[in-house]
Amino acid sequence: MFKRTILILLIGFLSIQMHAQQATCLRESAYWIIGTWKVSPSQYQLFEHWSVQDDSTFNGISFYFQAADTVVTEKMQLLSRNGILYFVPTVPSQNNGKAVIFKAYLNQAKKMAFNNPRHDFPQEIIYQLNNPDWLQATISGQTPNGYQKVTFDLQRINY
């Protein structure tokens, strides 16, 4: 009985340790997205900025400048919850201004991929760091007009 109790405690402890390591790895593997990025080429001077809120949350914003105003087109979060990474965008003019949750199915050192098969468009979002100063963001999925894929090349303008 004593050995069984020790075994159960040991398994529980190792499970907690593995979970903590996985959550840390998620944060570390996504750190490359932090900074300000400019969509290039773009006629609209479109930007994406990411910052760290805490160990498990990064906040992002997409925006452009119109005359003297900054126009926010999208607010985003990267969340690590219970060892799972989520991408949560909120576009004021879509989905009644409510956030949409995309769950990661791939989280590598320089690539994150998320999907939500129930969302109208996109159903998939991929961020890939091609080199320290270039990021590629791809949105894709089915639309009433068939499969669509849009790729954005972003150049880092600061950290």
Segment 86-144, tens digit of pLDDT = 999 999 999 999 999 999 999 988 999 999 999 999 999 999 999 999 999 999 999 99
Confirm if 109 and 122 have CB atoms less than 8 A apart: no
Take residue 15 and report the two structure tokens written for it: 């499970």
Partnered with residue 139 across adjacent β-strands are: 125, 150
Look at 12-16, 36-40, 89-93, 143-147 and tell me which has the smallest mean pLDDT.
Answer: 12-16
Q: What is the pTM of this model?
A: 0.81
Model pLDDT, residue 55: 84
Class level of CATH domain 2-158: mainly beta
Is the pLDDT at 10 greater than 90, yes or no? no
Give the C-alpha separation, 98 to 6, whole Å: 47
Give dist(CA 14, CA 125) in Å, integer.
Answer: 33
- Phi/psi region, residue 120 (left: phi>0; alpha: psi -120 to 50; beta: rest), is alpha
Which backbone phi and psi does 11 adopt, to 5 degrees?
-60, -45
